Amino acid sequence: MVQSLTIAAFAALTSVAAAARCQNLTIPISVSARNGVFNQTNPTNAIEATNFALRMSRQGHNYTQESLTGYNTVSGNYQIAATYCEPDAGPGKVVQVLTHGIGFDRSYWDFSYNNYNYSYVREAVDHYGYSTFAFDRLGIGMSTHFTDPINEGQIWIEVAALRYLTQGLRASSIPGISAKFQKIVHVGHSFGSSQTYALTAADPSISDGLVLTGFSQNGSFASQFILGSNFIIANTVPALSSYVTGYLAPQSAVGVQIDFFAPNSFDPQLLQVAYQNGQPVTPGEIMTLVGASAKPNPVAKPVLVITGEHDTPYCGGDCLATGNASLPSIPAASRMFLPNAAPFQAFIVPGSGHGLNFEYSHPTTYGTILNFLAQNGLAAK
Ligand SMILES: *[C@@H]1O[C@H](CO)[C@@H](O)[C@H](O)[C@H]1NC(C)=O
Ligand SMILES: *[C@@H]1O[C@H](CO)[C@@H](O)[C@H](O)[C@H]1NC(C)=O
Ligand SMILES: *[C@@H]1O[C@H](CO)[C@@H](O)[C@H](O)[C@H]1NC(C)=O
Ligand SMILES: *[C@@H]1O[C@H](CO)[C@@H](O)[C@H](O)[C@H]1NC(C)=O
Ligand SMILES: *[C@@H]1O[C@H](CO)[C@@H](O)[C@H](O)[C@H]1NC(C)=O
Ligand SMILES: *[C@@H]1O[C@H](CO)[C@@H](O)[C@H](O)[C@H]1NC(C)=O
C-alpha cells in the first residue's frame, strides 16, 4: 500500500471509515470505438436542448435511426478518475466494478450524505469484504470530458473504457492497484447498467457476474425521462461550467425528482444534495442508450436485474404493470435476452424510484445485491 504512494498516477490515500481503505486514482486509457454519426448539431441554448428532447421522444419515431448518417471510428487517449476501496484486512477475492448512470458521478456509490448511511461501497467493503472500483465514466466528473458531445460522447466509447479498465483489473496492471482478484463482478446503475450489458453482450467471458440496477430492456419509457429532465445547456449551471456547450443538465431539482425519486421514498434534503452534485449527459449518450441493450446477451454467469417498483425511465412508473399474467415485472422480461444467465433473477424494490441508492429502501437494495452474489459463488471471502 505505502509503496504505491510513489506511483505517478496515484492521487491520494485516506482511511475514510472503520474498515474501508480507499485511494483515488487517475488512470490513463487508450481506447477506440465505432460510433454513430448523427445529423444533429450540438444544442447551444435551452430552446435547442428542448427541441432535441422533443425530437427524441416522438411516439412512432426512432430519432436515433432517423438522424443516423453513418459510422465513424473514434479513438483517443483519456484519463479516468477512479476510487478503489478494499477492506482494512486486504483486498477481497472479488472486485466489484461500479459504473454509475446519467446525472451522477462515482460518488453515487459512496455518497457521503448522512454520514455515508447511503453508501453501497461501505456496505460491500465493510460488511461483505469486497474490493470496489468506482470510476467517473469517460466524459463525466473528473474523467476527461468529451469535446464533441454528439459524435464522440456515445455509449460505445464509454463501453470501450469499461473494457479497458476491466482488462486492467484482470491483469493487475492498473497503476496503484496491485491486488490479484479471483473474480470480477460488474455492477451498473441505469446507463451504467446499459454499458455493463453492452460490454458483456460483446464479450461474455469478461465478467464473472452482472448486477444491473435501475434497468430493464423496455425502451418504451425513455421519453418520460428525456422530457421530465427539463434539460438546459449544462454549462449555464455554475457547478458544470467546465463542460463544453452541448452537454445537457436538468434546469432544477424538479427534473432530478421526476427522473430518480418515487413519491414518499426519499429524504427531501438528499434530493437537493443530489441536484447540487449532479452531472450532465451528452446528446450522443441519449441517442445511443437504448440501442446498446437491444441485442441478446449470451453471458453464462449469475445475473441480477434489480429495479425500483416506481422506476420512471425503465418501467414508466410501475414495473409490475405488465399486462401479461405470465410476466411478473417489466425487468423480468430481460430473462429472454439473457438465455444463458445462471442463475437469472429479477427483483423489484418495493416503493422505490430509479435512483435506488438514494432512496429510503437502499438497505433492501444492498442486501439483495450482496446476498445474491454471496449465494451464487461470488462471495468476497
Ligand atoms: C477522492 O476524491 C474525491 C473527489 O475529489 C474526494 O471527495 C475524496 O475525499 C477523495 N478520496 C480519497 C480517499 O482521497
Ligand atoms: C439532416 O437534417 C436536415 C434537417 O433536419 C435535413 O434537411 C437534411 O436532409 C438531413 N441530412 C441527412 C444527410 O440526413
Ligand atoms: C433506434 O434505432 C437505433 C439505431 O438503429 C437502434 O439501435 C435502436 O435499437 C432503435 N431503438 C428502438 C427503441 O427501436
Ligand atoms: C414495455 O412494457 C409495456 C408495459 O408492460 C408493454 O406494453 C410493452 O409491450 C413493452 N415493450 C417491450 C418492447 O417489451
Ligand atoms: C408474456 O410473458 C411471457 C413470459 O415472459 C412471454 O413468453 C410471452 O410472450 C408474453 N406474452 C405476450 C403476449 O407478450
Ligand atoms: C440509514 O438509512 C436507513 C434506511 O433509510 C434508516 O432507516 C436509518 O435511520 C438511517 N440511519 C441514520 C443514522 O440516518
Buried b (16+ CB within 10 A) or exposed e, 87-125: beeebbbbbbbbbbbbbbbbbbbbbebeebebbbbbbbb
| Between 348 and 3, the higher pLDDT residue | 348
Partner residues linked to 185 by β-bridges: 96
Q: Are strands 20-38 and 10-15 parallel, antiparallel or unpaired?
A: antiparallel
Q: Domain tally for the chain?
A: 1
Q: Is residue 332 part of a domain?
A: yes
Q: Is residue 14 part of a domain?
A: yes
How do residues 31-70 score in pLDDT, each as one tens digit? 999 999 999 999 999 999 999 999 999 999 999 999 999 9
CATH number, domain with residue 128: 3.40.50.1820
Q: Is residue 348 part of a domain?
A: yes
Eight-state DSSP code of residue 225? H
How do residues 81-120 score in pLDDT, each as one tens digit? 999 999 999 999 999 999 999 999 999 999 999 999 999 9
List pocket residues of ligand 2, CB cut-off 6 Å.
Answer: 39, 69
pLDDT at position 6, please?
A: 33
Nearest CA to ligand 4 atom 12: 218
Rounded mean pLDDT, 361-366: 98
Show the domain range for 112: 10-375
Tell which atom from ligand 5 comes closest to the C-alpha of 324. 1
pLDDT at position 15, please?
A: 37
The C-alpha atoms of residue 192 and residue 64 are separated, in whole angstroms, by 20
Burial class (CB within 10 angstroms; exposed 0-12, middle 13-18, buried 19+) of 182: exposed
Nearest CA to ligand 2 atom 12: 39
Q: Is residue 320 part of a domain?
A: yes
Q: Which of 23, 24, 142 to mutate to test the pocket of ligand 1 (most atoms within 8 A of CB)?
A: 24
How do residues 123-166 score in pLDDT, each as one tens digit? 999 999 999 999 999 999 999 999 999 999 999 999 999 999 99
How do residues 221-272 score in pLDDT, each as one tens digit? 999 999 999 999 999 999 999 999 999 999 999 999 999 999 999 999 999 9
Q: Is residue 4 part of a domain?
A: no
CB 212 within 8 A of CB 204: no
Q: Identity (one letter) of the amino acid at 169?
A: L
CB 323 less than 6 A from any atom of ligand 4 = yes
CB 326 less than 6 A from any atom of ligand 5 = yes
The C-alpha atoms of residue 56 and residue 32 are separated, in whole angstroms, by 26
Q: Is residue 282 part of a domain?
A: yes
Confidence at 20, pLDDT banded by 50, 70, 90 = confident
The C-alpha atoms of residue 313 and residue 215 are separated, in whole angstroms, by 8
How do residues 290-314 score in pLDDT, each as one tens digit? 999 999 999 999 999 999 999 999 9
The C-alpha atoms of residue 277 and residue 353 are separated, in whole angstroms, by 19
CB 324 less than 6 A from any atom of ligand 5 = yes
Model pTM?
0.94
List pocket residues of ligand 6, CB cut-off 6 Å.
Answer: 114, 117, 360, 363
Q: Is residue 381 part of a domain?
A: no
Q: Which of 314, 330, 337 to mutate to test the pocket of ligand 4 (most atoms within 8 A of CB)?
A: 330
Tell me the CA–centroid distance for residue 292 and ligand 3, in Å.
8
Q: Is residue 1 part of a domain?
A: no
